[in-house]
Amino acid sequence: MTGLSDSFQRPINYLRISVTDRCNLRCIYCMPAEGVCLMPHDAILTYEEIYTIVQAAAELGIDKVRLTGGEPLLRAGLPKLVQMLSQIEAINDISLTTNGTLLSRYAAELKQAGLQRVNVSLDTLKQDKFKFITRSDNNLDDVLKGIEVAKSVGLNPVKINMVVMAGINDDELLDFATKTINEEWHVRFIELMLPAGASTTASQFVSASDMRKRLELLGELQPCLPSVGNGPAKYFRFPHTRGTTGFITPASEHFCFRCNRLRLTSDGKLRLCLLSEDEIDLKQPLRSGISSVVLKQLIVEAVARKPLRHQLVEGYMPKDRPFSQVGG
């Protein structure tokens, strides 16, 4: 294995896989409330097709995969996919991003199938606000229970992702940070983006530097290393705590120069950047019976097209798909 790198010599070893475009929530910052156009089932990659793509990517140098969506736990038999992917020798890290509503039900089975860790998207600790943000009748308690069950079965670490929105949930910054102190939570505060279909506005943006100033009411935030992975977040801790506080700054400080990822959409397109519309179709070639050599060639050619950086800082957002189809 020689390793995969793009035309800017960035090593590419991480594939995020959206296993479904369906979601049981309609978060205000992610999807429209209604009128979401869903793909027909046969447009979505089968588990066998995902396996074939990951196998080829692994032979090229991908060693980490993350399952996401839509809501990945809505896809029937997800532990089976985890189990299939865990058989690929070069894949040494399998993780999941979920809204947590179904996590308590599946955490043990997923762990047993080979899942290592999980990120849970959670934007509020208040039930009424949970309903407002997610525009659903789901219960916050189910998510909190999912987090506890995930920890108890040994999914480690469990990271909590909070998209911070001014006037909506920024009053809870300290509550989430307190969880890093009292309950050893690993919280990542994410700057709001404004994708196609979202109901949020630019006035709700809070920069990570602003968040950080407000959090330091609780004490000094000391830089630290991530407990696992080398993703885009910058990590800190309050003194004498084991939990961590991370910031993900797609808007105020892009991290493209160390981007190591590709995305596979639920309908089988290799997307080179969350915030760029360029995609290479793998599904049709796969369904027409291409060899693994040709599949690998397609992946290599796609990687060569990976853009240097996204244009979010200049105000550009792709309009082609909601994040629910690309995997957020």
The answer to whether 193 contacts ligand SAM (rule: CB under 6 A) is yes
Binder of ligand SAM out of 192, 272, 298, 303 (CB under 6 A): 192
The answer to whether 204 contacts ligand SAM (rule: CB under 6 A) is no
Cα angle: 58, vertex 64, 67; to 5 degrees: 105
The answer to whether 68 contacts ligand SAM (rule: CB under 6 A) is yes
In the complex, residue closest to ligand SAM by CB: 328
**101-140: contacts with ligand SAM (CB under 6 A):** 121
The answer to whether 99 contacts ligand SAM (rule: CB under 6 A) is yes
Contact 169, 162 (CB under 8 A): yes
Cβ closer to ligand SAM: 68 or 104? 68
**Secondary structure of the chain in the HEC alphabet?**
CCCCECCCCCECCEEEEECCCCCCCCCCCCCCCCCCCCCCHHHCCCHHHHHHHHHHHHHHCCCEEEEECCCHHHCCCHHHHHHHHHCCCCCCEEEEEECCCCHHHHHHHHHHHCCCEEEEECCCCCHHHHHHHHCCCCCHHHHHHHHHHHHHCCCCCEEEEEEECCCCCHHHHHHHHHHHHHCCCEEEEEECCCCCCCCCCHHHCCCHHHHHHHHHHHCCCEEECCCCCCCCCEEEECCCCCCEEEEECCCCCCCHHHCCEEEECCCCEEECCCCCCCEEECHHHHHCCCCHHHHHHHHHHHHHCCCCCCCHHHCCCCCCCCHHHHCC
Q: Which two tokens stand for residue 257?
A: 């120069």
The answer to whether 146 contacts ligand SAM (rule: CB under 6 A) is no
Residue 117's identity, in one-letter code, is: R
Binder of ligand SAM out of 6, 59, 63, 71 (CB under 6 A): 71
Q: Which of 300, 221, 267 lies closest to 50, judged by CA?
A: 267
Cβ closer to ligand SAM: 58 or 74? 74
The answer to whether 155 contacts ligand SAM (rule: CB under 6 A) is no
Closest distance of CB 101 from ligand SAM, Å: 9
The answer to whether 29 contacts ligand SAM (rule: CB under 6 A) is yes
Cβ closer to ligand SAM: 5 or 199? 199
Binder of ligand SAM out of 20, 97, 244, 260 (CB under 6 A): 97
Cβ closer to ligand SAM: 268 or 328? 328
Closest distance of CB 103 from ligand SAM, Å: 10
Distance of CA 229 to the CA centre of its chain: 13
Binder of ligand SAM out of 134, 169, 266, 324 (CB under 6 A): 324
Closest distance of CB 187 from ligand SAM, Å: 12
Cβ closer to ligand SAM: 6 or 21? 21
**Measured between alpha carbons, how far is 235 from 32 in angstroms, rounded to an integer?**
32
Cβ closer to ligand SAM: 51 or 205? 205
Q: How many residues bind ligand SAM (CB under 6 A)?
A: 20
The answer to whether 328 contacts ligand SAM (rule: CB under 6 A) is yes
The answer to whether 251 contacts ligand SAM (rule: CB under 6 A) is no
The answer to whether 161 contacts ligand SAM (rule: CB under 6 A) is yes
Q: Which stretch binds ligand SAM (CB under 6 A): 2-10, 57-65, 66-74, 134-142?
A: 66-74
**Measured between alpha carbons, how far is 122 from 101 in angstroms, rounded to an integer?**
10
The answer to whether 164 contacts ligand SAM (rule: CB under 6 A) is no
Can you give the binding site for ligand SAM, defined by CB under 6 A? Answer: 23, 29-30, 68-69, 71, 97-99, 121, 161, 163, 190, 192-193, 195, 198, 323-324, 328
